[in-house]
Copies of this chain bind each other. A is one copy, B any other.
Amino acid sequence: MTEFLYDVTGVGNAIVDVIAPCDDDFLNANSVEKGAMTLIDEARATELYSRMAAGREVSGGSAANTLAGVASLGGRGAYIGKVADDQLGQIFTHDLNAAGVRYDTSPLVGGPATARCLINVTPDAQRSMSTFLGASVMFGEDDIDADKIRAANITFMEGYLFDRDEAKAAFVSAAEIARTAGRRTALTLSDTFCVDRHRSSFRHLVKNHVDILLANEAEILSLYETDDFDAALAAVRAETNLAAITRSEKGAVIVRGDETASIAAEPVDAVIDTTGAGDLFAAGFLLGAARDLPLADAGRLGAIAAAEVISHYGARPETRLETLAQSSQARLS
């Protein structure tokens, strides 16, 4: 068996989250789309922030959250993404390294600030995200560290990268390096609005270039422009080697050729903030896939990781997931 330096290398938008509670009236009054990730410019970010409640700053970014989860499960992970040479960039870099993820993309000097995601969390635990991409989009092919991709069992990329041409070029470059090296690539569709923006590109990628697909139910329905979950599942089964579709409290469905595994959601005492649920499911699932676990075991790791992250504010684990998985008698290798 090949020895990999990393189980998973992630490529994504490097973002610091600003998380604050709000009510539905706040979302309406400030035209924030509930449950979605909306891209905003710096002026809008400043204005929206001025209206938000006092918050906490925690490192985020979809694929970065996933890699923090992989490391917390005891996996070996690396990350490629761009921050600015500023205080938030230092925080992002610190937190990812402190989580045990190898991360050393050079920070941007003299350009926009580190990306911020303003996350307003309503009492129903739903998060509504407004993202100023800042330095994260000044992320080009030159920033793709080929060694981190060649050394990884799976290279995992965010759909969000398609929102800017530079990052999209970096995505394509990363995928080519992985393919040439005989490695697997994984993609998350990220968000239904992201699928709307890039449907044809995503359809082409999923069919031709992606080995492992991650999506939630709404995203996969949007990708195939159908209301029929079974039809979408049949399409994704035909087009990918392996796919995991998350369904919130209904758990997840994993398909690989003729195989299907249904994964139950892990019980949670109280759902506080759903930010990061998909990212952390991906962490467990991808680590399981990298370690060639049976589908049900890989899915269970995803469910355990997702349950931890929705039980508190913020999109990265606050409890060691490896310990949680062990105490749940989940298979880790």
Contact = CB atoms under 8 A, between A and B. Distances in A.
Interface of A: 18, 20-21, 49-50, 52-59, 68, 86-88, 91, 94-96, 98-99, 113-114, 314, 316, 318
Contact of A54 (B94, B113, B114): B94
A91 B50 contact: no
A94 B50 contact: yes
A247 to B, nearest CB: 29
A292 to B, nearest CB: 29
Give the top 6 A-B pairs by smallest Cβ distance, nearest first: A54-B95, A57-B57, A54-B98, A87-B87, A56-B58, A54-B99
Query: Which one of A21, A55, A318 has the greatest number of beta carbons of chain B within 10 Å?
Result: A55
Contacts of A20: 98
A57 B56 contact: yes
Given A52-B98, A54-B68, A57-B57, 15 more contacts: A20-B98, A21-B318, A49-B94, A50-B94, A53-B98, A54-B94, A54-B95, A54-B316, A55-B94, A55-B95, A56-B56, A56-B57, A56-B58, A87-B113, A87-B114
Contacts of A113: 87
A261 to B, nearest CB: 32
A94 B56 CA distance: 11
Interface centre among A57, A91, A113 (most CB of B within 10 A): A57
A94 B58 CA distance: 16
A56 B99 CA distance: 13
Contacts of A68: 54
A122 to B, nearest CB: 15
A98 B19 CA distance: 13
23 contacts: A18-B91, A49-B94, A50-B94, A52-B94, A52-B98, A53-B98, A54-B59, A54-B68, A54-B94, A54-B98, A54-B99, A54-B316, A55-B94, A55-B95, A55-B98, A56-B56, A56-B57, A56-B314, A57-B57, A57-B58, A86-B86, A87-B87, A87-B113
A93 to B, nearest CB: 10
A301 B49 CA distance: 31
A96 B50 CA distance: 11
A114 B57 CA distance: 15
Contacts of A54: 59, 68, 94-96, 98-99, 316
Contact of A57 (B52, B91, B316, B318): B91
Most buried by B among A18, A58, A98, A99: A98
A174 to B, nearest CB: 24
Most buried by B among A56, A68, A94, A98: A56
A18 B59 CA distance: 12
A105 B54 CA distance: 18
A88 B56 CA distance: 11
A134 to B, nearest CB: 11
A49 B18 CA distance: 20
